[in-house]
Structure 1
Amino acid sequence: MPDPRNSAWSPLYYLASVGAGGLTVTFFMWLYFWVPHPGSPVPLFNHVVAAFAAGQPLSRAMIALAAAGIAVFAWMNLSLLVWNLRAHRAFHGSEAEAQLKRSNGQTQLMALPLAIAMSINVGFILGMIFVPGLWSVVEYLFPAALLAFLLTGALALRQLGAFLGRVLTEGGFDFGANGSFAQMLPAFALAMVGVGLSASAAMSTTVATAGVAVVLSSFFFMASAIVAAVSMILGVWSMFRHGAAREALPTVMVVIPLLTVLGILLLRQNHGLHAHFGGHSDPAAILILLTRIFSVQILFGLLGVALLRRSGYAAEFLHGERRSAGAYALVCPGVALMVMGMFWVNKGLVGAGIIASHGAAYWTLSAALIAVQAASIALVLYLNRRHFRTSALAQPA
């Protein structure tokens, strides 16, 4: 990893850490849906070990690959977070930061709380899969997790408040340069905090902990939804009036990971409300919710691909001489489609009885989702080679 002091760093490089964290989650999905975990809402170390010991060769290979994938991409997530924090420290107080804070790009700084929230989630996955006996003390960990996410959310709200305070009191928002959904990054950060908070709602057996988690995650859900709606309106208006900003075109697909995160948040809340507060969501309601989310994601995916092709984005920013940290925004849509697709297939289609678990249709759909996961992995490795070399980062992105 090159020295960040010698690099043309941008806050959008935090998305490299976020993308690696997302890939960690994709491998966790294998264990979540394909390893039995009686007695807990998520697979734990003992479930994984038992399934591996009793499994057939193909099952063992799946578990081994999933565990390896979690370990590798969790390491990548955390190492890239540390690298970015060092780079951010060098960036702080510079003229480049001052210029950024006077522009639309000020919201790029919210990639920091987004990355921190993702890494906290990754930490939980590592604990569940690799730490024996974690569940015996998990009720002590949930309050700590709530505090960590709440502090991260406070940072996100502070940064968002600084941006809104400036543009709403001083003006200066450049609509001509806003031809994208780049301003939805704050919504993504708030949603990531919310989904982290909702984990305690779904998994805690303590009513007070689950109740606090439901309330706090609901707050960040609404904050994210409001910011996303406003940002989408501003982005669409700017694109229709001034055209799309070519370098920021990947942000058109930020709706995909945003909806995945908010969708998981709602599923976790539903589980907690059912377990503790008498709330009930039948399989039909879950099917409709997930299908609508997945449908919107596919539509925005098609729109994003069409715009990228028409603009020649790949030739310039993926294969050409220009490097853009915003290219890492292309990783999140594929990761999010895979994760939401796994929920749609298993909780939606199988849960409602439309397809049989582990039948031909099930494995066909699952194979398509794994293909999306593989493409996302290939993209991350390619971008890392392209961007995280001393020779590359020593030049302006």
Structure 2
Amino acid sequence: MSTPTRPADTYSPVYFLASLGAGGMAVSFFMYLFFWVPHPGVPVPTFEHIWAAFTTGGAVQQAAIIVAWLGIAVFVVLNLKYLIWNLRAFSSFRRTEAFEVLRNSNAETSILAMPLALAMSVNGLFVAGLAFVPQLWSIVEYLFPLALLAFLLIGLQALSYIGDFLGRVLAKGGVFDVTANNSFAQLLPAFALAMVAVGFAAPAAMSHTVVVAGIALIGSTFFGFAAIIYTVVAAITAFNSMLHHGTAKESGPTLMIVVPIVTVLGIMFLRQFHGMHVTFEAHSAPVETLVFLTRLLTVQIVFLALGLLVLRRQGYWSDFVFGSGTSPGSYALVCPGVALSVMLQFWLNKGLVASGIVDKYSLVYLAISAIAVALQLAMIALIVRLNRQHFGRGHGGLAVPAE
């Protein structure tokens, strides 16, 4: 590999999170279209719905659509740009001694950032297709089996990497450094499985073919609950290590990884509920969805508060975000903000509005929406900052690896 001239040249698979964050941001812009553009009879807005709203709506709605279109376009391009860069860098990285060192350390699970980013890119491309491709919905039933195949292959890749890691550390003792497990970095495999699950669940909510919807329900349930099991086990063991040794500073942002995992799994369950309602006539009341989403939001707020507390006490922001230090783990800060913004949109629209507690476009509605938008804007600023730090030629430092 060439001599490092910027932090990102000291490669770590954690840099796949740069692609992941951009993809998540693209999806967050789609929320404007999903909840503010009418799409009767179709579970998601398509280009035709968006164009109709743009040509007949008022100035505010037109402005929101333009912002959403621009946001989706820009961040899908960034998502693919950093995905391709990472795939090339990872291919070179595999041929180095550093890769063999990583494969025999706790950080082996950082490789799971690759299937995580791949699954996010498939989701992002689907969102871009809905927003920009005319008549896409007319062929969507042909696309769903291809999407299921793509997510199955990514899921099998993730399971293979997880199997390599668990097979190594569980087959014989003494190869896993418990003292270095003092963060939630080991939850990355769960995040990857959850992203596969939410992708699998899309045809369950949208397909009118019973067999396709059924396969999507089964597949998403498998990967979703595998993610839940992994999250619980990894979080308990990591928290025990953190209580004994404190939180590893470079991996501090992983304390908030539960936030995006919960959002992704929450969307998976909502897609499953919708599919069971439309295709299999299993009905539930809107207030049940409200309570369900409120429980998930509570979990997110608890872990977000914990993570922010530890990061502030450790001085992480002044060292690795606003200071001269760099760590690829800083990209893990983007996911919680984006995920919470998306969850607030679902909680507001599918929970409060659907239950009749809040009127759409009322003052309360706009206030909660403003919080979601503010989080989104903050994460855009963070992405710009981190990209300049890690990929800009002007930065002379090297990245500190996140274990």
TM range (shorter): over 0.9
Tell me the secondary structure at the aligned position of residue 38 of structure 1.
coil
Report the counterpart of residue 152 of structure 1 in structure 2.
154
Partner of 2:35: 33
1:189 aligns with 2:185: no
TM-score by length of 2: 0.96
List aligned pairs for 1:335-354, cutoff 5 A.
Answer: 335-354=338-357
- CA drift of 1:322 comes to 2.0
Is contact 1:201-1:268 (8 Å) kept?
yes
- Comparing 121-130 with 168-177, greater Cα deviation is found at 168-177
Match of 1:263 in 2: 266
Instruction: Report what 2:300 is aligned to.
Output: 297
Cα deviation, 1:81-124, whole Å, max 9, x if unaligned, reads 00001100110121111000111000000000000000000110
Cα distance in structure 2, aligned partners of 1:351 and 1:142: 28
Counterpart residue number, 2:19: 17
Query: For structure 2, which runs of at least 5 residues remain unmatched after alignment?
Result: none
Aligned match of 1:327: 330
Q: Of 173, 178, 181, which aligns to 1:175?
A: 178
Q: How does 1:166-245 map to 2 (within 5 A)?
A: 166-171=168-173, 172-245=175-248
Partner of 1:117: 119
Aligned residues of 1:191 and 1:224 also touching (Cα < 8 A): yes
Shift of residue 280 of structure 1?
A: 1.4
Deviations 1:135-188 (A, max 9, x none): 111000000000000000000000000000000012311111111111000000
Q: Does 2:78 correspond to 1:76?
A: yes
Cα separation, 1, equivalents of 2:121 and 2:159: 18
Distance 1:83 1:3, change over 3 A: farther
The structure-2 alpha-carbon separation of the partners of 1:38 and 1:167, relative to structure 1 and needing over 3 Å to count, comes to same
Contact 2:324–2:397 (Cα < 8 Å) also in 1: no
Q: Is the 8 A contact 1:256 1:297 kept in 2?
A: yes
Measured after TM superposition, the shift of residue 394 of structure 1 is: 7.6
Structure 1 residue runs of 5 or longer lacking an equivalent are none
C-alpha displacement of 1:3: 10
The alpha carbon displacement at 1:58 in A equals 1.1
Please state if 1:248 is matched with 2:240. no
Residue pair 1:286, 1:347 contacting (<8 A) in 2 also: yes
Question: 1:277 deviation in Å?
Answer: 1.4
1:35 CA drift (Å):
0.5
For residue 319 of structure 1, report the CA deviation from its aligned partner.
2.5
Give the match for residue 58 of structure 2: 56
Question: In the alignment, what sits opposite 2:104?
Answer: 102
1:233 alignment partner, SS class: helix
Quick check: 1:117–1:193 contact (8 Å CA) kept in 2? Answer: yes
Asked whether the 8 Å contact 1:4–1:86 carries over to 2, the reply is no
Secondary structure, aligned partner of 1:264: helix
Bigger Cα displacement from structure 2, 195-204 vs 163-172 = 163-172
User: What secondary structure is seen at the aligned counterpart in 1 of 2:299?
Assistant: helix
Q: Which secondary structure does the structure 1 equivalent of 2:306 belong to?
A: helix
Q: Using the TM superposition, give the Cα deviation of residue 318 of structure 1 relative to its aligned residue in structure 2, in angstroms.
A: 1.4
Contact 1:5 1:90 in 2 (8 A): no
1:393 shift after superposition: 7.8
Do structure 1's residue 382 and structure 2's residue 385 form an aligned pair? Answer: yes
SS in structure 2 of the partner of residue 179 of structure 1: coil
Aligned to 1:161: 163
Judge which range, 74-83 or 270-279, deviates more. Answer: 270-279
Does the 8 Å CA contact 1:8/1:394 hold for their aligned counterparts? Answer: no
Secondary structure, counterpart of 1:277 in structure 2: coil
